Copies of this chain bind each other. A is one copy, B any other.
Amino acid sequence: MQPQVYQHTFPNGLTLLAERMEHVRSAALNFLVPAGCVYDPPERLGIAAVLADLITRGAGERDSRELSLALDNLGLDRNESVGLMHTRFWGFTLARNIPAALEIYADILRRPHLPDEEVDAVKALALQDLRGLEDEPRSKVLVELRRHYYPTPLSNDHRGTVEGIADLTAEGIREQHRRLFHPAGTILSVAGNIEWQPLLEQVGRLFGDWNGKAETPIACGPQPEKLGHIAKDLEQTQIGIAYDSVPIGDPDYYAALGAVNVLSGNMSSRLFTEVREKEGLCYAVWATYHTLKDRARVICYAGSRNERAQRTLDVLLRELRRLPEGVESDEVERVQAGLKSSLIMQQESTAGRALSLASDWYYLGRVRSFDELQAAIDGLTPGNIGEHLRRCPPRDFTLVTLGPKPLTAAD
């Protein structure tokens, strides 16, 4: 059951990763292109998302319609999404259709038409996506939380701004493509019932002569104000909290992950028990760990009826603040059981594996083995989680609320 993982970095900087899973019929592919919304120019916020939509509207020899048809004919379940650091192209289908899909993706990434006549429709869609956020308070509070936690441009949201999208031109979008779509830093991962040698040869032929240099590092603006409230007449108050953690490459990383899972990882974790089960304060409450390459944060969310919102926030902050007092060995055992179960689920899915390969390579420059991950989970103890929490306690909270009234964060 030990999987075979392959890796090759071409001279132009493109990295190909693959995992052979011979007991499946499917395969998944995943391109990470370093063209996330962090690179949106301040006066063009939203351009990465517009580009990610326009880029599949014709490429190589195919016009927009022909391109869609060609991908759909391969039975490709796919999507294109813009994250902070990368634009991601993801696809899943029968393993035998992967070579044909790669031929098309080479056109999309390298030879998109980015046609003038589709720009208005794409901009209209981007504006709809942005406006729709106003009707989705849960997503909205998390977007605003990011704005209050990170300096620009790390606080960018892929949806951009009305002004940023309104001023976009076809030529500006093409310029953005020329600037950001290049092999240096691009990662292609494939997992499933595939053969490494033919894959390597095909990717070399399709992308080996792709050129371009990596984007210069981004410069961050000043640290934003840590507290925010958006007044809106809603049934529920949305609460978002963020605080610093250690990034994935840090020696404390697994302890940090363990600590977050003590808070929120299963039905008997602390937030679920204290906020939801004991007091029935809110239906949805969770905490999650989120890393960039050089920094990381923990995000907590709760959505609560307005009259219970202050109490919900009080209990949330109490639980965060008492975390450094220590965690129990039975809590750690449950966290370990849950993390192992998640690890197995991810290992058994071609889509999960393709994502993990690329993610590991981006963050760590290598792919972690199942044994390494299992050993890291087994290595968690109340001792090392407690030590981490005392070095890096939950504090200096960024707090954003969305609802009829602001709340008070007691010291």
Contact = CB atoms under 8 A, between A and B. Distances in A.
Given A236-B135, A267-B68, A348-B24, A125 B337 contact: no
Interface in A318-353: 330, 333-334, 336-342, 344-345, 347-351
Interface stretch (A10-18, A29-37, A241-249, A273-281): A273-281
B276 A125 contact: yes
B93 A135 contact: no
Given A128-B236, A131-B305, A134-B235, A75 B280 contact: no
Given A276-B125, A280-B120, A337-B74, A235 B266 contact: no
Contacts of A304: 128
Given A72-B267, A120-B280, A129-B283, A348 B349 contact: yes
A121 interface: yes
A170 interface: no
A157 to B, nearest CB: 15
A95 to B, nearest CB: 9
A7 interface: no
Contact of A305 (B127, B234, B235, B308): B127
A25 interface: yes
A75 to B, nearest CB: 3
A391 interface: no
A341 B280 contact: no
Nearest to A70: B268
A44 interface: no
B345 A266 contact: no
Contacts of A330: 69, 73
Given A71-B267, A350-B348, A277 B121 contact: yes
Given A57-B277, A68-B268, 10 more contacts: A23-B23, A68-B267, A69-B330, A73-B334, A75-B339, A75-B341, A121-B277, A132-B235, A132-B283, A348-B350
List the 7 closest pairs (A to B, CB-CB), nearest first.
A124-B280, A75-B337, A121-B280, A75-B341, A23-B23, A68-B268, A72-B266
Interface of A: 1, 23-26, 56-57, 64-65, 68-69, 71-78, 92-94, 120-125, 127-129, 131-132, 134-138, 234-236, 266-269, 273, 276-284, 303-305, 308, 330, 333-334, 336-342, 344-345, 347-351
